[in-house]
Amino acid sequence: MGISKLNLHTENTNQIARISKVFAHPARVAILKYISQQDGCICNDLVDEIGLSQPTISQHLTVIGNEGLLKVIFKGKNKSYRINIERFEEFQMLVTAFFNKTKSNCC
């Protein structure tokens, strides 16, 4: 696979693509859904709930976290994860604006 030429696209376009990658995997969607229903959870909670191995859950949490969709709070040696609502709202506005603009272009 070739190298992506991200500089050919606007920052908004690149940002939508990066965050969309988070939602492109069902395990990550399930992780986000579960975390949203908790007052914080640790990786082992997700292992029990989602049914994937700890290393796999950790990899998914890294992808989600890299886009700023999670807040991490340290509780002793454990990381507790929560949804970053502000980042979700930013993403929602970006995607809504993209869909509205694309839809209006079609008419």
Structural domain spans, the chain: 16-106
More confident residue, 6 or 19: 19
Helix 26-36 / helix 43-50 crossing angle, nearest 10 deg: 120
Question: pLDDT digit string (tens) for 16-48?
Answer: 999 999 999 999 999 999 999 998 899 999 999
Range scoring the smallest mean pLDDT among 6-10, 18-22, 82-86? 6-10
Spell out the CATH class of 16-106.
mainly alpha
Task: Output the six-digit token pair for 1.
Answer: 């696979």
Secondary-structure percent of the chain, ordered helix, strand, coil, rounded to 5: 65, 10, 20
> Residue 100 pLDDT > 80, yes or no?
yes
% of the chain residues with pLDDT over 70: 94
Q: What is the CA radius of gyration of the chain?
A: 16
pTM: 0.86
Residue 24 is given by DSSP the state T
